[in-house]
Amino acid sequence: MKKVYLYPLTANTRNSVINPYVSNLKEALRSNFDVINAAKPSNTGIFDIIKYLRKVDVVYFNWSEEVPENSLGRIQGVFLLLLLQYLILSPILIIWTLHNKSSHYSAYRRLKKMIYNQMLKKSDLIITHAKEGLDLIPDGKKAFFHHHPLNKSIVKPGQKNSFSYDIIIWGTIYPYKGIHTFLKFLEHNSSIEKYKILIAGKIMTQSLAGELRSYSEKYDKVDLMDGFVEKEKLIDLVQDSKIALFTYHSDSILSSGALMDSLTYGATIVGPAVGAFNDLRELDLIETYTDFNSLISVVDQELESADENLSRQKKLSEFIVANSWDQFALTLLKLIEQKNR
């Protein structure tokens, strides 16, 4: 059984919002691999890998371009660049999941770009969860597209006849997700009271929190739930909303965990025509829009055809089974075995 070092697995979770992707990946990998740092999350960032280098077969990176955002980020970033040079001279396999086109955040742009480019050049295997990601990978590199893995569907039985909200926008709330821009657009076009809107999730900057709070205070049809929402509560909120909307306007977007979770929650989804959103639109699992002007017509159409969306449920069930975390782990095992031949 091959030994895998999985990054990031961190013990520093205080006052932070935890992305479940790495936790789900860890559990899926453990069926076929020895994740050697699974029981010992790091307190030292990427430096933690040093004690494992002599006993690891695979280093599996996620969001490595975001290393400079961490404590002692510049130092960690430089260390990562040196680490990559060491790894390519060793028999250790480098796997990288290309989650985004670039960092979502504006700090340390130059260092992040250097890390990103080196990951593209030095990785032995690059995974992407959006077909668009394949266009970013240099010719000759081993690359593989696999839809973002999903958990089991938790659609509640029975058809709802009434909903509290027309639109829910949920997830950890950063400026790049475009929520404030969307509300500003609706206000400018005198459409902000056309829909009953719920915004639910932890807002990550004070300035953005103030901006969104001003809309909820000014308009009765805009509700704001600022803070971490427990999973069961979130599922209820999603299923009490006609549409789960994604308002991303960032050029860095490729895939989204919240998008895939919304699928398993049984949501009718509308999102931007980029990355994984386009992939799911091709499968007729969601609807997409090109700009906020076209978004209004897409939302109105979805609100009017809610019953027709039931026809997507069979396709969705098949998609979830084919793209489970367990299936993803088996795919990785096959790819690594092929790479080692």
Instruction: Report pLDDT digits (tens) over 228-249.
Output: 999 999 999 999 999 999 999 7
173, 280: one domain: yes
What are the Cα distances from residue 245, in Å, to 103, 169, 271, 299, 337?
22, 5, 6, 9, 40
Kindly state the average pLDDT of the residues 318-322.
Answer: 92
Q: Is the pLDDT of residue 281 over 70?
A: yes
Cβ count near 261 (within 10 Å): 22
Residue 19, pLDDT above cutoff 90: no
* 295 within a domain of the structure (yes/no): yes
Q: How confident is the model at residue 106 (pLDDT cuts 50, 70, 90)?
A: confident
CA distance 319 to 149: 10
The SS3 of residue 264 is: helix
Residue 107 domain boundaries: 3-149+323-339
Residue 71: pLDDT over 80: yes
Determine the pLDDT at residue 14.
47
Does 111 or 310 have the greater pLDDT score?
111
Q: Are 92 and 54 in contact (CB under 8 A)?
A: no
* One domain, residues 11 and 138: yes
The arithmetic mean of pLDDT across residues 92-106, rounded, is 93
Same-domain check for residues 46 and 111: yes
Note the pLDDT of residue 105. 86
Q: 129: which 2 tokens? A: 């969860």
Could you tell me if 187 and 285 lie in one domain? yes
Query: What is d(CA 286, CA 211) in angstroms, rounded to the nearest whole number?
Result: 29
What mean pLDDT do residues 284-298 have? 95
* Number of other CB atoms surrounding residue 131 within 10 Å: 15
Of 113, 135, 138, 110, nearest in space to 124 by CA: 138
pTM for the structure as a whole? 0.92
- What pLDDT is recorded for position 223? 98
Residue 159 within any structural domain of the chain: no
Instruction: Name the β-bridge partners of 46.
Output: none
Using the predicted structure, report yes or no on whether residue 116 has a pLDDT greater than 90: yes
Rounded CA separation 4/43 (Å): 18
Per the structure block, which two tokens stand in for 273?
Answer: 């025509």
User: Do 149 and 26 meet the contact criterion of CB atoms below 8 Å apart?
Assistant: no
Residues 115 and 221 in one domain: no
Residue 62: give its domain's CATH number: 3.40.50.2000
Q: Is residue 113 part of a domain?
A: yes
Query: Are residue 141 and residue 179 in the same domain, yes or no?
Result: no
Kindly state whether residues 137 and 247 are assigned to the same domain. no
Q: Please count the structural domains in the chain.
A: 2
pLDDT, tens digit (0-9, with 9 covering 90-100), for 136-194: 999 989 999 999 999 988 776 556 678 999 999 999 999 999 999 999 999 999 999 99
326: which residues sit within 8 A by CB, 6+ positions away?
Answer: 28, 31
The edge-to-edge listing of strands for the beta sheet with 3-7 is: 34-35, 3-7, 58-62, 93-98, 125-128, 143-145
**Pairing state between β 58-62 and 34-35:** unpaired
Mean pLDDT value of segment 24-36: 95
209 and 332 share one domain: no
Rg (CA), the chain: 21
**Count of positions (residues) in the chain:** 341
Q: Output 276 or 10, whichever has higher pLDDT.
A: 276
How many C-beta atoms surround the C-beta of residue 251 within 10 A?
11
